[in-house]
């Protein structure tokens, strides 16, 4: 009787990768939670939440996709910042729906606050990629 190969490339995914990525975007760490990685899910949720709340407490403005005027570099920064903000998922949506819009004023706190909000989104983006790789068994 021939041996059955169980190589890493032939195994089926644990869950739908698209469902996992969508869940990971909506609530940071939820993709890992669905995959049974509860400790990693908790760490990611807390890290993204703390970064986002820190940015909001510093009155960091949210980037707007249509607010970019001027040269190409300013538009790239504005669109990149918007993608970073939007990657925070439900936290970003709740902030927008609740009317969070601090006045756009030049200060160190607001500047660092916007960086923390973008950081939260980029960290969640990395978590989404990690959840996708785990769901497709490219990573254990």
List all residues 6 or more positions away from 58 whose beta carbon is below 8 Å from its beta carbon.
109, 110, 112, 113, 116
DSSP letter (8 states) at residue 9: G
- Residue 46: predicted pLDDT: 97
pTM: 0.82
Gap between the Cα atoms of 88 and 117, Å rounded: 8
CA 86 to chain centre: 8
Question: Per-residue confidence of the chain (140 residues) as pLDDT tens digits?
Answer: 444 444 444 444 466 889 999 999 999 999 999 999 999 999 999 999 999 999 999 988 888 877 556 788 888 888 889 999 999 999 999 999 998 887 777 777 788 989 999 999 999 999 999 999 999 888 77
């Amino acid at each position: 009787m021939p041996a059955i190969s169980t190589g890493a490339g032939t195994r089926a995914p644990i869950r739908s990768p698209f469902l996992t990525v969508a869940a990971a975007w909506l609530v940071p760490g939820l993709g890992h939670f669905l995959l049974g990685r509860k400790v990693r899910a908790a760490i990611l949720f807390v890290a993204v939440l703390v970064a986002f709340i820190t940015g909001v407490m510093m009155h960091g403005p949210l980037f707007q996709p249509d607010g970019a005027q001027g040269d190409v570099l300013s538009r790239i920064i504005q669109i990149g910042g918007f993608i970073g903000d939007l990657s925070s998922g439900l936290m970003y949506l709740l902030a927008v729906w609740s009317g969070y819009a601090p006045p756009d004023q030049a200060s160190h706190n607001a500047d660092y606050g916007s960086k923390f909000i973008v950081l939260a989104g980029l960290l969640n983006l990395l978590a989404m990629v990690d959840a996708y790789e785990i769901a497709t068994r490219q990573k254990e």
